[in-house]
Structures are given as structure tokens and as C-alpha cells.
Amino acid sequence: MKSISNIIILISMLYAGIAYSSDHVEARTLVESGAILSLEAILNQAKIDHPGRILEVSLEHEKEGYVYELELVDEQGRVWELEYDAATGKLLEKEQEEE
């Protein structure tokens, strides 16, 4: 029974790895082509716009183009969501999450 569990876990990990790898490859391709800025550039801008500890980052494809969505917590413990235009690095939206 234990070996069946291990096989299921391994298959799950491989599937998750393939999904992650695919997203990572797409993002890298977009950065290398100049279509979007690197995550490093966006994180550096976020430090200026609203210092805090990053909790989550995602790259979303929306109607108007790619958007980096960052969730962070500031020194007061408030959680913020920041959205950046991935092509220009312009801050599009900044809002505090509801408690």
C-alpha cells in the first residue's frame, strides 16, 4: 500500500512540476523577447512604491496585456495588493486588503 501512495505522490509532483515549468518558460520567453519586464525589476519598483514583505506574486494575461500582481504585508501588518503593467512597470492599482 505504501508504494502505491508513493507513486501517487510522485505523479502529483511531476504534474505540478510540468505546470510550473510551463508557466516559468512562458514568463522567461516574454522577458527575453522584451515583451515584459523581469520580476526583479518589478520587485525593485515595488520596494520604492510600497515597502514590505512579498507574500505572493503572479503574472496574469489580461485584455490590455500582462500584469504582475503582488501581495505584500507592510511593517504595520497590513496586507496590500499592487498591480503593475508588466511591459512598462507602471503601477496600475494599489489597494489594502479587507481585514
Residue 61 DSSP one-character state: E
pTM above 0.85, yes or no: no
> How does pLDDT run across 38-57, given as a tens digit for each residue?
999 999 999 999 999 999 99
Pull the grid cell for residue 84.
503593475
pLDDT tens figures, 53-96: 999 999 999 888 999 999 999 999 999 999 999 999 999 999 99
Give the SS3 label for residue 96.
Answer: strand
Give SS3 for 66.
Answer: strand
Q: Which helix (H) or strand (E) holds 82?
A: strand 79-85
- Nearest CA among 31, 83, 75, 32 for reference residue 57: 83
